[in-house]
Amino acid sequence: MTEFGKITYYSEISQMMFGFGDSHSPNPDTVRLVESILLDQLRTLVQEALKYSDGKNLGGEELVFLMRHSKQKMRRFVIYLRNRHNKALLQQPAGATDKQLLDKPVGELMEFIERIDETGEFTDLEEIDEVKFERQLRADRISLALDEKRYLEFCKARCRSFTSNHTIQRSLEKLRVWVDPKKEINFRREALDVLAYYAYQTVAEIVDYALLVRMDTKTGANPFDHLPGMYYTATMFNGKHQFQEENPDYSKVHSSQPQITVNEVKEVMRRIHTPQAGKLNFGGPLPETHYYLLSNPKYFN
């Protein structure tokens, strides 16, 4: 097909799922299902974004524009851009100027966000991002249970993304060919950067919601078990919720964490497609799935 051969992100997605809270060795069938969902998601995003361009050329602004209805998603992306900018400052070669750095695509995207941010809420980062906080809480609980070797593996998985620090251009080209194998669309570099960010966040949400589904099956009708954040920790344990005891047994976080199953992911997609059949939020605010996790009926049949 291409210089990449048969393109797959199986390895990357498997490690990301572990980093987000799945088993150390995710279920292969589940990983392949997530990969299939992700590819459909990215291709849908591209087609939606092309409506705001000439239909053939795609820049990063069109993809960022799709996030405009969710201030939290936009804020996470702003933080992502700022972190990338700070990293570029640290890695700039001798003699590089701030003007040269600001001319990079990351600067153009920030300027675009500021232009469409009429109320300033997209760049207001003082409000706590509960989803991000609870993901960090879950990672902290897992890390407490790991020995040195597994902890290093977990850290590596947490750093995995759809771009490689050493071969960014090649990574983005692989993503472009995966999404558009017939080369019908002209992607600008920043468009591929945003697409890689979307892909990463989609995998994170699938894992989040799969753990929500698992927590729902464990807790039954107990309303107190659906408090915000509970599923990020309680789903890591078999049997009794260990945080009810004085000395939590963190060892079960890693050694006994069951793999996320195909049926759990299918249930996630079913609930997103037909939310009246079962809430994913369990009493909290509705989950923000628009343009991160689109649904296709074929995934829950």
Would you list the domain boundaries of the chain?
10-300
Q: What is the pLDDT of residue 134?
A: 83
Residue-level pLDDT at 87:
75
Tens digits of residue pLDDT in 217-227 = 766 555 555 44
Which pLDDT score, from 0 to 100, does residue 195 have? Answer: 94
| Range 213-252 burial, b when 16+ CB lie within 10 A, else e | bbbbebbeeeeebbeeebbbbbbbbeeebbeeeeebebee
Taking 50 as the threshold, does the pLDDT of residue 1 lie above it? no
Averaged pLDDT for residues 130-147? 84
Q: What is the pLDDT of residues 168-225, one digit of tens each?
A: 888 899 999 999 999 999 999 999 999 999 999 999 999 988 888 887 776 655 555 5
Taking each helix axis as running N to C, give the angle between helix 105-116 and helix 189-219, from 0 to 180 degrees, rounded to the nearest 10. Answer: 70
